[in-house]
Amino acid sequence: MSAKQATQHRLERLRASLEQEGCDAVIIRHTSDLRWVTAFEGVFDEEEAHAALVTPQAALLHSDSRYDKALAARAQGTEWEVSGEPVGHARWLAARLGDLRVKRVAIEDDVALNEYRAWAVAFEDLGVELVETHDLVRTLRAVKDADEIECLRAAQEITDAAFTHMCEWLHVGVTEREAGFELDTFLRRHGQGLAFPCICATGENSANPHHIPDDTAAREGDFFLMDFGGRVRDYDADMTRTVVFGTPSAQQREIYDIVARTNEACEAAIKPGVPGKDIHNLAQRLLDEAGYGAYFGHGLGHGVGIDIHELPNEGSRSENLLQVGSVVTVEPGIYLPGVGGVRTEDYGVVTEDGFSVFTKASHDLVQL
Ligand code: GLY
Ligand code: MN
Ligand code: MN
């Protein structure tokens, strides 16, 4: 699928949602949402510097001189019109809403309060009704197209290669920070960036699910947990493996195997139409039955795409259903305070008949 076809397809899906909401326009501000709907590659960074106005007939993008030429180059041959007019988004949007005679404009309910107030003032004389929507674009992004799946698989290939590299490179005495640097470097060298700052945690620190790497050095007998992901064409990978230095203790072996089997049972249970919370609850039940349910605590998984955390969620409070094209992680863990922890995380895509896992690294405990 070309970028031109991708944006056309995504605009059609967005316009169908707008019709369902009874709106004749939507304002999009989040950069990840804009990366998705435009399908423009390698131009959006972390800055929330842009605003789009999409109606049934128009797709308009407002940016500034730091980005407008690169955006205009990518917009060629698509229906997007890019403007770098040096005015604030509120003024630019008010002029376009007036030109297009928009009556009901959808705005996402997580827009910044100061921006919402600026819009209310700027649009005051236009008679435009602001209709608050919740996750309008994120809900569309929760179902990936073929082009997105290709990016996500490619990001995971580099991430699997990084794990293989780390299994050769890691040694007793290495600090978490040094290992994080090695992982970061590998992912950047072989891919196009990092999905998120790598988590490396050894010994007791591995009992903290999102430990920030520090100067703790790995010792013989310690677990070493790595949670990391590469990035390809603006799409993220997400993977966790826990390895051990030397021979695992009986308890390390026990919790490692329980987590691996829980991961596999959950992956086998994923299919379209299943609520995300059911997969989480399955993991919780298996961990409870094994006697370690109190040492889990976080959600089983989440969607991944342009952002590392997307819809659908697989947590105990999730209302999301898994659908064909949902790309989700499966990441059960057992975290024993003062001892250490294990997490095994894969990700993949929900298919007509189940779950196709992108992650190729095995679930066998690697002993270094
Ligand atoms: N690396 C973040 C997560 O696994 O959710
Ligand atoms: Mn992760
Ligand atoms: Mn994850």
- For residue 361, the model assigns a pLDDT of 98
User: Which among 200, 225, 227, 300 is the best mutation to test ligand 1's pocket, defined by most ligand atoms within 8 Å of the CB?
Assistant: 227
Closest by alpha carbon to 309, among 273, 345, 353? Answer: 345
The one-character DSSP state at 220 is T
DSSP H/E element including 90: helix 89-99
Measured CA to CA, the distance from residue 226 to residue 206 in angstroms comes to 9
Ion ligand 3 neighbours (CB, 5 A) are 238, 329
Helix, strand, coil percentages, rounded to 5, for the chain: 40, 25, 40
- For residue 1, the model assigns a pLDDT of 79
User: Which among 345, 346, 347, 359 is the best mutation to test ligand 1's pocket, defined by most ligand atoms within 8 Å of the CB?
Assistant: 345
- For residue 155, the model assigns a pLDDT of 98
pLDDT (average), residues 343-365: 98
- pLDDT digit string (tens) for 30-76? 999 999 999 999 999 999 999 999 999 999 999 999 999 999 999 99
Closest atom of ligand 1 to CA, residue 229: 1
Question: How many whole angstroms from 112 Cα to the centroid of ligand 2?
Answer: 28
Q: Whose CA is closest to atom 3 on ligand 1?
A: 238
Measured CA to CA, the distance from residue 260 to residue 243 in angstroms comes to 12
Measured CA to CA, the distance from residue 311 to residue 304 in angstroms comes to 7
Closest atom of ligand 1 to CA, residue 240: 4
pLDDT (average), residues 4-9: 95
- For residue 97, the model assigns a pLDDT of 98
- For residue 275, the model assigns a pLDDT of 98
Question: How many whole angstroms from 186 Cα to the centroid of ligand 1?
Answer: 19
Which residues contact ligand 1 via a Cβ below 6 A? 196, 227, 238, 308, 331, 345
Closest atom of ligand 1 to CA, residue 195: 1
DSSP H/E element including 163: helix 146-169
Residue 185 has pLDDT above 90, yes or no: yes
Question: How many whole angstroms from 237 Cα to the centroid of ligand 2?
Answer: 8
Measured CA to CA, the distance from residue 66 to residue 47 in angstroms comes to 11
Ion ligand 2 neighbours (CB, 5 A) are 227, 238, 345
**Percentage of the chain with pLDDT > 90?**
99
User: How many other CB atoms sit within 10 Å of the CB of residue 151?
Assistant: 21
- pLDDT digit string (tens) for 303-347? 999 999 999 999 999 999 999 999 999 999 999 999 999 999 999
User: Which among 196, 226, 300 is the best mutation to test ligand 1's pocket, defined by most ligand atoms within 8 Å of the CB?
Assistant: 196
Measured CA to CA, the distance from residue 128 to residue 198 in angstroms comes to 45
Token pair of 185 as six digits: 């470097």
Closest atom of ligand 1 to CA, residue 302: 5
DSSP H/E element including 268: helix 250-269
Measured CA to CA, the distance from residue 177 to residue 368 in angstroms comes to 19
pLDDT (average), residues 90-117: 97
pLDDT band at 2 (very low <50, low <70, confident <90, very high): confident
pLDDT (average), residues 124-149: 97
Closest atom of ligand 1 to CA, residue 343: 4
Closest atom of ligand 1 to CA, residue 301: 5
Beta strand spans in the chain (E): 25-28, 51-54, 59-62, 80-83, 104-108, 129-133, 199-202, 223-228, 231-232, 235-236, 239-244, 301-303, 310-314, 327-330, 333-336, 340-343, 346-351, 354-357
Q: Is the peptide bond before 275 cis (omega within 30 degrees of 0)?
A: no
Secondary structure (3-state) at 106: strand
Question: How many whole angstroms from 82 Cα to the centroid of ligand 1?
Answer: 35
Task: Give exposure, 246-279, as e/b (b: 16+ Cβ within 10 Å).
Answer: eebeeebebbbbbbbebbbbbbebbebebebbbb
Beta strands 199-202 and 59-62, pairing class: unpaired
- pLDDT digit string (tens) for 217-255? 999 999 999 999 999 999 999 999 999 999 999 999 999
Question: How many whole angstroms from 330 Cα to the centroid of ligand 3?
Answer: 7
- For residue 123, the model assigns a pLDDT of 96
Mean pLDDT of the chain: 97
Question: How many whole angstroms from 210 Cα to the centroid of ligand 1?
Answer: 8
pLDDT (average), residues 253-278: 98
Q: How many CA atoms lie within 13 A of 224 on its CB side?
A: 31
Question: How many whole angstroms from 143 Cα to the centroid of ligand 2?
Answer: 20
User: How many other CB atoms sit within 10 Å of the CB of residue 330?
Assistant: 26
Question: How many whole angstroms from 170 Cα to the centroid of ligand 2?
Answer: 19
